[in-house]
Structure 1
Amino acid sequence: VVVRRALAEPGYVAVGVRGRLREQRFAAVMPVAAVQRRVTPEALCGVISPRDLPALRALDQLRPVLAQEVWGVTGSAGFELATGIEALHAQ
């Protein structure tokens, strides 16, 4: 799951379950106590993908510049780098 931008009751986190396609998403909430692994966007800065796609090549080129800032990888690229599940395409 990924954390989504929604309010949740104390002790819960708003999450989304992703499918293979962008429109295949399911909104839910889950107890914080059920979280087994947390990966922040900032933790993905050094993750290198074996795939050769334009977005990942651009990310590799920008890493030295972005290393001087506090930043992280989000969206489909972040999801792919965090999980290893292919979410990006050439376009």
Structure 2
Amino acid sequence: MGLKVNDLIKINDISDLIGDFVDISWINKAVKRAPFVVVRRAPIINDMIPVGVRGNNRSQRLAATILNSNITEIISPEQLVEDKLWRNNNHIKETHIFETLEAVDSIFKTHNMIWGLTGSVGFELASGVESVTDTSDLDVIIRAERFLSVKTAEDIIKELLKVPAKVDVQLETSKGSVALAEYARGNSPFLIRTVSGPRLVENLWSEDEHLEG
């Protein structure tokens, strides 16, 4: 199926979620409101997909798992960008995020980057449920399967500082994820996030490099 971290998965209802839940009231409301969960950065074991549930506020976050067979739809962060879904979202059009999205789309197009939307913006575009507020940041991933120079990363960061909203960019490589801002500083080793936990690496694209804890 090729699931990736940050993919949004549509489920049937709360019964699809597996985990130890202390308070299911907000979870049930959240899933009824928007039956979508996000793939977490954790191992997939025996067709058990690690996912996160998003509530109405930041204190309402839950780590759970679902069976692969209970997936009804998968929406990738890149798909949201490819379809330019924000241009059809009247709520987002009324916020500072809309202008930011248009600017970011232009920046990444100039640099020939494959990028996607995560966080509250990605969730709203996928689910149709209003999640973006006046204080929302824009969370973005860049799929970087091939080498990206530090100079290019620096240039992108400088351009992103000029857009209306704060943009948080994660660089997703085959080894793991690192903040674009950290990579742009060029100070290796880089601390990356992997499915098995944080690791230090000297090179984000060298396949034969040993990861050190």
TM range (shorter): 0.7 to 0.9
TM-score, structure 1 normalization: 0.88
SS of residue in 1 equivalent to 2:133: coil
Would you say 1:69 and 2:110 are equivalent positions? no
> Alpha-carbon deviation of 1:30?
0.5
Long gaps (5+) in structure 2: 1-36, 136-213
Residues 12-68 of structure 1 deviation map (CA, whole Å, 9 limit, x = unaligned): 110111111121112110111111000000000111221211123201222233233
Partner of 1:53: 95
Long gaps (5+) in structure 1: none
- Percent identity, aligned pairs only, is 35
* One-letter amino acid of the structure 2 residue matched with residue 83 of structure 1: S
> Alpha-carbon deviation of 1:4?
1.3
- Runs of 4+ aligned residues of structure 1 deviating over 6 Å after TM superposition are none
The higher relative CO (CA closer than 8 Å, separation ≥ 6) is in 1
Give the total of aligned pairs.
91
Q: Rg: which structure is higher?
A: 2
Contact 1:14 1:28 in 2 (8 A): yes
Which structure has the highest strand share of the two?
2
TM-score, structure 2 normalization: 0.40
